[in-house]
Each structure stands twice: as structure tokens, then as C-alpha cells.
Structure 1
């Protein structure tokens, strides 16, 4: 039996292995806001690429530089993924996607989101380990490529956890030929509500994954920060002062990422107006990718020195032709 054609209301058939999104159609005023945030996102791309290149220029000589680079990659991926879907809806005014595309979109969104917090988690593990067990840290992490192995394990865990969302969604049953979602992107909540056999098991499973990652990162950040502050507050040694400085840098990044999640999930439950939800979404997408590289660039000495060195080299190259011209005159 052939699939019925899509209706003019941004709907597609689910019964024929299609899915649909009925996005909040971006009006002229909101298009302006979206383009502003897109410009901010483009600026954040430059910032994050600068952070990644600065870490790479030092050959990741410290494990923390590897984690900072991975954090920039995950922040950048999260922002680009989300903004691209909003832009496609704004440019097309309405968006129709296949069921497979919806599953892939869902995977990308959750994978980049989970990697943000899992990368922050291993940053805290690395710093806590280096301060309180320095000998085993040097033996297992700094000297034997342990940082890369730890990062690979954590990213694989994030990959597996992210696959749960599209797999669970693929087993849902949709009664109508047309499935309409109340969001611009294919996130799990609206898709699950659109199914005709809503399963509490699916909701509980996905909630456990998400809140476990958030809770693990939050508890690790709180406990590690408390331990490091308690250790360093009465000490004046340079190593402890630097550890305390790094601890605060990680804390600022953690607060920025958790704030974006609160904006996108918690506040949207109270502000159910489509325009407010749209505005909160784009803020949540752009904030980590813009704020985190600024924090790393300003507060991490190894990265800051690379930028200063590049600036001085550019300044010398720009002023050299002028001096040569003056000499000839």
C-alpha cells in the first residue's frame, strides 16, 4: 500500500516509516533573533577552534589540555547540531523529515549533550587524582597515555548511552498515519508523547540515563571542589595555588553547562509559550560553546601563553614591512 502524501501542515506519515515535525514556525521577529544567535555561534566556532589548536600546538603535553580540547569539541558539536536544525526550520518555514532522519537527529543531540557532561566529569577525576594521588597519577595517566585511554572509554560510554534514545524510539508504536511533534527538533519527550502506546518503562529508562550523567557530574564536581578547597585554603605553595585556580576554572565551566540545561529543560516547563521556548532553546544551545572557550582561554595559562605568542608574532610580521619602508625612505 503506497504511503499517503504529506499534508500541508508540516506532517509526514509515521505508518509508512516516516516521522514528522510540526515546528513552531519562526516568524520574522524570531528569525532576526535566530540569525543573531547564529552569528554568535559562528564567533564561538572561531573561539573553540582556537582553543583546540592551542592545545594541539602543545602536543597535549598535559592530560588537562586533552580534556579541554575534547570539551571544546563537544560544546561546538552541541551548538552546531542544535542551531543547524533551527536554521533549517527557519529557512524552510516548515520541515518534513523521515523517521530515520528523526532517529539520527535524536542521536546527535543526545550524544553531544552527554559528551559535554562526561568530559567535564573526567576533567574533575583527572584533577582530583593528580592532587590527592600524584604518584599513581604520573605512573598511570601522565606517562603511559592513560589520559587518552580514559577519554576514549568515557566517549564510548557516551556513545552507547546515546544509542538508547533512538533504539527505544524505534520500538514505539504510532497509531496515526501522521505524527506531529510539538518541538522544532526530534527530542525524546515530544516523540514519546506522540506515540499511542506510551510506556512508562521507556520514560524511566531514558530519564535514568540522563539524570545519572547529570547527577554523577554534579556530585563529582561538588565533592572534588570541596576537597580541593579544603586542601588548598591553608596552603601557600605554588602547586596548591595552581590546583585551586584550575578547580575554579572547571567550576565555572560546570556552572555554564548546567545553567544551559536548566534554561532548556526546567524553565521551559514553566514558560510554555512557543516564543519563550524558542528563545530559551537557542540560549541553551549557544551558551556553552561561547562561554566555555572564553573561560578556558582567559584562565588556563598554557592556552593563554599560546595566544599571547601568536599575537606577538603577528604584531612583528605586521610592523616589519612598515619599518622596512621607513628605512628605505
Structure 2
């Protein structure tokens, strides 16, 4: 009789990208450049906010968390992907796999919560402009940021505690990187509690984020159409539209990733592309969008490069 609760190995086998020999170098260059762009853009945004005291305001303190979160997600993914492409190593230690999965999930939930908090900040700024400085103090914003990260760590901590309590009897992963659904496929035990809690975390994050954004944006739209100043209305709508595009991009990629696990007939290459896209496009676009669209940050970045990097 086979003991299905036997923990087969601490070394896991990942599916890999199945690259042909001639496509290994282009794939490695593309992955390296993508990671370098993500690191450069997000670090520039972080340093710009940290090093300029004029940007130590509630809105920018909150924005600072977005590139930090993006770096967490991309750094959890890219070193392992680059190693896999270059060395064609499809093995990974179980503890490293769990660590990667944990931080990837921290990134996903963190991005949703941070964008939700940013929507709330914009709601106060546009709908209650005279009370903004009174409500949105630095200390109040730090409380919001603390709640965002603590709630994220709590939800994901419980998720992975529930995962690690289960015995494994398989060692072949179904994905190119590690996440909770892939790790659950290694388990030969009842995963009902894990599935219920997974759905619970998805429901909590979606109710909080979508509910908050739906309410705040309705209020912002009402306030904009009531405003008699066309320039103020246009600026507010442009800011909110940019934020909404970023949020919808993240939501769509996350939703497609979740659905791809449920569809058995979907192409494995498409599943891998969708999964990796969630960790490439938002971390690349976020600092560019918020760096270029936010006048104060854009001016500080231009000033830094013109005076320090490219002095006349």
C-alpha cells in the first residue's frame, strides 16, 4: 500500500519555459532588461520621494509604498526566472519555493490594498479639499499604511500556515514559478479548508478594494460634474482615470491568472505568460505613470538628472 502522506523530496521540479536552444539568449536578454527597467524606475521613484523633504506629504508617503511593493514582487520572481532560463535548471528547494510564493502573494494583495488606499486619498482631496490637510495628516496616513501592510501580512500568513501544515507526496510543480495554487497540487490530503480560506481572502480583498473604489469614484464623479471650474474638473478626471487604468490592469491580470488555473484546456504557454505578466507589466508601468503624471515628482526627477547625471 502506497503511503500518500510521505514527503517525497525537499527538491521540487518546475515545469520550466521549454525554450528552444536558439530562443534561450533572447529570452534571457528580455527578462534581464525587464528586471533592470523595473529596478531602475522603482528605485528612482523611491529615492525621489525619500530624498526630497518637500515630498514628505501624506499622498507621497502612500505612493512610496507602491514601488516598494512592486520591487518585492519582481525580486521574488526574476532571479529565479533568470537562473532557470540561463542554466536550464528546473529544480527548486521547497523552502525557497514557499518563500517565493509568499512574497508573490504579498505583492498581489499589497498592490490591491495600496491602490485602494490611494483612491481613498484622492476622494478626500477632490471631494473634501478644504478638509484634506486636516484629515490627511502624516500620522493618519501612517496609520493607513500600517493597516494595509498588517492586513496583508495577516491574510497571507494564515494562508501559508494552512498550506505548510499539510503533508506532500508530489514534487512536480505545475507552473513556472511558485504560488499557493501550485503548491497545493503537491498535497495528497484534504485541502477543503485551504480552498475555503483562499476564496475568503479573495472575497475580502475584492470587497474591500472594489467597494471602496466604486464608492470613492462615484463621489469623485459627482463632485467633478458639480464643479464649475472646468480646469479643476479635467485635472481631477485625468488623475482618477490614470489610477483606475492601473487598478483595472492589475485586477484583470490577477483575474485571468486565477481563471487559468481552473481551465484545464488552456495552453500552458498562455498560462505562463499571463502569470508572469502580472509581475512584469504593473511594476514597470506604475513608476512611469505616477512619475510622469505627478508634476512634483516629475520635476524633481528631471532636476536630479539634469544637475547630477547630465550637467550642462
Tell whether the structures are fold-level matches, with TM greater than 0.5: yes
Secondary structure (helix, strand or coil) at the match of 1:317 reads: coil
Gapped runs of 5+ residues in structure 1? 1-12, 319-329
* Offset at residue 235 of structure 1 (A): 1.5
Mapped partners of 1:78, 1:85: distance in 2: 12
Secondary structure (helix, strand or coil) at the match of 1:39 reads: helix
- 2:172 matched residue in structure 1: 180
Equivalent positions of 1:103-182 (< 5 A) are 103-134=98-129, 137-142=132-137, 144-174=138-168, 176=169, 178-182=170-174
* Structure 1 position 20 matched with structure 2 position 12: yes
* Offset at residue 147 of structure 1 (A): 1.1
* Offset at residue 254 of structure 1 (A): 0.9
Is contact 2:14-2:92 (8 Å) kept?
Answer: no
- 1:264 matched residue in structure 2: 257
Q: Which of 244, 254, 271 is equivalent to 1:251?
A: 244
* Structure 1 position 70 matched with structure 2 position 62: no
Higher mean alpha-carbon deviation, 223-232 vs 178-187, is at 178-187
- 2:287 matched residue in structure 1: 293
Bigger radius of gyration among the two: 1
* Structure 1 position 231 matched with structure 2 position 223: yes
Q: Aligned pair count? A: 303
1:87-114 per-residue CA deviation (whole Å, 9 max, x = no partner) reads 2322342343333333222211111211
* Offset at residue 296 of structure 1 (A): 0.7
- 1:79 matched residue in structure 2: 74
* TM-score, length of structure 1 as denominator length: 0.81
Change beyond 3 A, Cα 1:15–1:311:
closer
Is contact 2:77-2:100 (8 Å) kept?
Answer: no
Mapped partners of 1:137, 1:235: distance in 2: 17
Change beyond 3 A, Cα 1:66–1:166:
same
- 1:89 matched residue in structure 2: 84
Mapped partners of 1:315, 1:107: distance in 2: 37
- 1:207 matched residue in structure 2: 199
Q: Which of 95, 98, 101 is equivalent to 1:100?
A: 95
* Offset at residue 256 of structure 1 (A): 2.5
Q: Which of 306, 309, 317 is equivalent to 2:300?
A: 306
Change beyond 3 A, Cα 1:89–1:308:
closer
* Offset at residue 189 of structure 1 (A): 1.2
* Structure 1 position 222 matched with structure 2 position 214: yes
* Offset at residue 154 of structure 1 (A): 1.1
Calculate the aligned-residue CA RMSD, in Å. 2.7
